[in-house]
Amino acid sequence: MIDIRKLKELVRLMVSNELTEIDLRDAEEQVTLRKQSTTVMPQVVIPAGSPALAMAGAPVASASRAGGTAVLEDDGTEDDSDLVAIKSPMVGTCYLAPSPDAAPFVAIGKAIGADTTVCIIEAMKIFNEIKAETGGVVEKILIKNGQPVEFGQPILLLRPE
């Protein structure tokens, strides 16, 4: 069984170093901590036959930058099969504008090219510009400015030209 003091120390280290994920494994147990929006949720996996431990982590403050970006809510009623998704290539915090007071990189209805920057993803204090890699017209923006994103999560949908 994992020691609660060790878990608390891992959460403290995660918060003090502003990490979004920690994954530790050994022969007997696995501990994964992921920061989601405003909460760190520890997940402890112990091999079969061992007593299981389940616990929830303490709330953690999340740094969020406000932005005046228009986001179209997806109600799930439209057919998006002909649209191309631009997906996050990494885990981090996605910003739809270069700074809090700047205009967004893309807008709904705007035609973009393959080299167009669609957002910036911050991972471990490094800001990574994300390019569209395909041309088209922006149909939907699926995330909000300052929202955490996962690897492979769709950020926006394009109608190919």
Q: Are 106 and 156 in contact (CB under 8 A)?
A: yes
> What pLDDT score does 23 carry?
78
Residue with the bigger pLDDT between 8 and 61: it is: 8
CA 151 to mean position of chain CA atoms: 7
Residue 39 CA to residue 34 CA, distance in Å, equals 8
The pTM of this model reads: 0.52
Residues in the chain, total: 161
pLDDT computed for residue 153 by the predictor: 93
pLDDT, mean of residues 122-127: 88
Q: Please name each of the domains of the chain with its CATH number.
A: 1-62 (no CATH), 84-160 (2.40.50.100)
Q: How far is CA 101 from the centre of its chain?
A: 22
Residue tagged 């998006």 (tokens): 80
User: What is the rounded average pLDDT for all residues in the chain?
Assistant: 74
3-class SS letters over 53-120: CCCCCCECCCCCCCCCCCCCCCCCCCCCCCCEEEECCCCEEEECCCCCCCCCCCCCCCEECCCCEEEE
Model confidence pLDDT, tens digit, residues 35-76: 754 444 444 444 444 443 333 333 333 333 334 333 444 445
Mapped onto helix, strand or coil, the DSSP state of residue 4 is: helix
Please tell me the distance from the alpha carbon of residue 108 to that of residue 96, in angstroms, as a whole number: 12
